[in-house]
Structure 1
Amino acid sequence: MPPTAHRPRAPEPRDLVAWPAAFGTRFVVLVDTEEEFDWHAPLARDAHGVSAISALPAAHRRFAEHGVPLTYMVDYPIATDPRAIATLAAVLEDGVSAVGTQLHPWVNPPFDETLSPANSYAGNLPEELEAAKIDALTDAITRGIGTRPIAYRAGRYGIGPNTLRLLAERGYRVDSSMRSRYAYSGDGGPDFAEIGNAAFRTGPGGGILELPLTTIHTGWLRRGGTRLYRTLGALPKGRGLFARAGLLSRVALTPEDMPLRDALEAIAVAIGEGLRLLNFAFHSPSLAPGHTPYVRDAADLARFYAWWDAVFADLARRGVQPASLDAVIVAAGLPASGAGR
């Protein structure tokens, strides 16, 4: 039996970030900077590589041409591979991009847990083990980059009841482990039914800035939101039928398995609803064909970049500007990290 799903509560109105008027409406791009592996195979400790990181410099330049700083959420295999970490350190020299941590517990020591779907969510692990894994990853990145990371993402969005306190105790200021309107409770992961898209203060004393991954409901019945979407999941082909009819879709802001037309509609809805910070994401192995289900060949890679080009043009037309991690932290009222302004 999987453990009871961790279900973070919706923030209180007083915990929502009141962005300064001068901040405007902005967006960030967080990159799950990780090893490549077979997405269709069971998770394994050693069945992975880091060759896709060689595509990072060219990709970084393309984003930089649009004035978009990136925040690289780095996991243990990347942080401990000399070539990978050197590649990452080189792109971080732009002075505006930043590094954070992403914990994949199945490839992050200490390995005191059995491999299982439930244990792939770090927040399900015993508190001492989760803490030890966070420490090992934080220390590896600090040694490799020379900067102590202050932003965290749990791999598979596997935040747990102890995670935010453990992060606060280690000086982390930002978490982006909550995927708005998604649930991973089927195999023991968390359920984010109560989490919307707005950034909020959380953790001990409100010292952690939570940046949920933006997910928008679109369609004529979008006000039915998460409850209606989950009800449709219990009906044969219910979600697909409603999406094709233009009634209800769930759109995450990522080029991975999210068509451009849907993403542009989601952006329009998000801005229309007054969302002040949009949080985009993708996996670094998607930068090289053949490592994720989303970019299987050169044609997929071309579509991946075309997606970003069109999205950036749309955001610029709407006056939505990119933001660095530090700009977001400062605007939210937390001390700057110095990792990129």
Structure 2
Amino acid sequence: MTYRPPQPTEAQRVIWPDEFGTRFTVFVDVEEEFDWRAPLSPRNRATTAMAAFPDAHRRFADRGVALNCMIDHPIVTDPASVAILSRVVEDGRSEIGTQLHAWVNPPFEAPLAAAESYAGNLPLALEAAKLETLTTMIAAAFGTSPRAYRAGRYGIGPNSFELLASLDYRIDSSVRPGYDYSADGGPDFTMAKAAAFRSGGIVELPLTTVFTGHARRGGGGLYRALGHVPNARGLFARARLLSRIALTPEDMPIAAALEAVAVAAGEGLRLFNLSFHSPSLMPGHTPYVRDAADLRRFHHWWTTMLNAFDRRGIRNASLDEILTALG
């Protein structure tokens, strides 16, 4: 059965204090390399792209931008990756969080079906055991317990928030508004919104997705309906009627992303949540960065976006600053 997060009530929506202003944060899926077109395998644990992480971190740190590094089991069990990330958090603003890739994270009970690669689809006891194993290992490796979580493949489920709260997490960032993974057995976030909300003891910081175009008020419902008509989404995008824009440099042109920021800022969004995958920092490990030219475009995307935030007075927020604002 497809998991669809309940729509938050008005009482659940986060009201940011005035002094917080409008801010942005950056979550990085720090993970192993794997062929995204091939079946998921517990044997795919290479972390060679982490060699590019220090340079990327320097680029962000020089701009005063904190990285929320959401790490998984292959990363936390690789001493070289732990050493790199231990230096990253010495900037005093970046932080280590948790990302659960169910297919590479013990305990292993049996080969996972495709739908079970979404951790929220696992039996409660198995999801809990995998999450507790990873949380304990991260705390041991870095000397502090992680406070933020992202499910690999955005695969939260009906038990996930309760499990996170039981392990003293404060933040989840697994909701990807406007996206539907149900065809592969994953959750459906079509009708989710970009604004932060509370669920039990957890605050959800959705990845920022913005609908742009003259018909943007139709949002996820219209976008879903267009998906049932051949070529309709492309036609609407080209006619500037409706486009779905995620704030990531991965397969998202900078011009479209800048338009999305303008729209969301105009509509009062107070926290922008941007993201990327760590293997994109080295050519050949993701479909988004295949060669040196793609990598140059990747870095140019970030330079342009950060400059745009500066012009708008939208400052970066570290995880610690976000939690302080949340009270």
Q: TM-score, normalised by structure 1?
A: 0.95
Q: CA deviation at 1:310?
A: 0.5
1:265 equivalent among 239, 259, 266: 259
Aligned-partner SS, 2:275: strand
1:23 equivalent among 1, 20, 32: 20
1:39 equivalent among 36, 40, 46: 36
1:52 equivalent among 32, 38, 49: 49
Work out whether 1:185 is the aligned partner of 2:192: no
Q: Partner of 1:161 in structure 2?
A: 158
- Distance in 2, matches of 1:150 and 1:325, equals 9
- Distance in 2, matches of 1:128 and 1:83, equals 31
Q: TM-score, normalised by structure 2?
A: 0.99
Q: CA deviation at 1:175?
A: 0.5
Work out whether 1:125 is the aligned partner of 2:125: no
Alpha carbons of structure 1 residues 129 and 64: separation in structure 2 relative to 1, 3 Å: same
Q: Partner of 2:248 in structure 1?
A: 254
1:307 equivalent among 294, 301, 317: 301
Residue by residue over 1:38-58, the C-alpha shift from the partner in whole angstroms, topping out at 9 and shown as x without a partner, is 111110110231000011100
Q: Which amino acid is 1:44 matched to?
A: S
1:232 equivalent among 222, 226, 229: 226
Contact 1:9 1:194 in 2 (8 A): no
- Distance in 2, matches of 1:131 and 1:329, equals 24
Q: Which amino acid is 1:210 matched to?
A: E
Q: CA deviation at 1:183?
A: 1.2
- Distance in 1, matches of 2:137 and 2:77, equals 6
Residue by residue over 1:236-287, the C-alpha shift from the partner in whole angstroms, topping out at 9 and shown as x without a partner, is 1111111111111000000000000100000000100000000000000000
Q: Trace 1:314-325 onto structure 2 (pairs within 5 A).
A: 314-325=308-319
Q: Which amino acid is 2:106 matched to?
A: P
- Distance in 2, matches of 1:319 and 1:47, equals 42
23-32 or 104-113: which moved more?
104-113
Aligned-partner SS, 2:240: coil
- Distance in 2, matches of 1:47 and 1:77, equals 9
Work out whether 1:173 is the aligned partner of 2:167: no
Percent identical among aligned pairs is 61
- Distance in 1, matches of 2:65 and 2:87, equals 17
Q: CA deviation at 1:115?
A: 2.3
Work out whether 1:291 is the aligned partner of 2:256: no
Contact 2:172 2:204 in 1 (8 A): yes
- Distance in 1, matches of 2:323 and 2:188, equals 26
Q: Which amino acid is 1:19 matched to?
A: W
Contact 1:113 1:119 in 2 (8 A): no
- Distance in 1, matches of 2:153 and 2:233, equals 23
Work out whether 1:197 is the aligned partner of 2:176: no
- Distance in 1, matches of 2:270 and 2:4, equals 25
Contact 1:214 1:253 in 2 (8 A): yes
Contact 2:178 2:220 in 1 (8 A): yes
- Distance in 1, matches of 2:262 and 2:48, equals 37
Q: Partner of 2:210 in structure 1?
A: 216
Aligned-partner SS, 1:135: helix
Aligned-partner SS, 1:317: helix
Q: Partner of 1:69 in structure 2?
A: 66
- Distance in 1, matches of 2:27 and 2:299, equals 16
Q: CA deviation at 1:114?
A: 2.5
Count of residues in correspondence between the two structures: 327
Contact 1:34 1:78 in 2 (8 A): yes
**Over the residues paired in the alignment, what is the CA RMSD in angstroms?**
0.8
Q: CA deviation at 1:73?
A: 0.3
Aligned-partner SS, 2:111: coil
Residue by residue over 1:179-225, the C-alpha shift from the partner in whole angstroms, topping out at 9 and shown as x without a partner, is 1121111121111133201111113xxx1111001100001111111
Work out whether 1:277 is the aligned partner of 2:271: yes
Q: Which amino acid is 2:90 matched to?
A: E
Q: What residue ranges of structure 1 are gaps of 5+ in the alignment?
A: 334-341
- Distance in 2, matches of 1:228 and 1:213, equals 20
Q: Which amino acid is 2:307 matched to?
A: A
- Distance in 1, matches of 2:114 and 2:237, equals 29
Q: CA deviation at 1:68?
A: 0.5
Q: Which amino acid is 1:165 matched to?
A: E
Aligned-partner SS, 1:281: strand
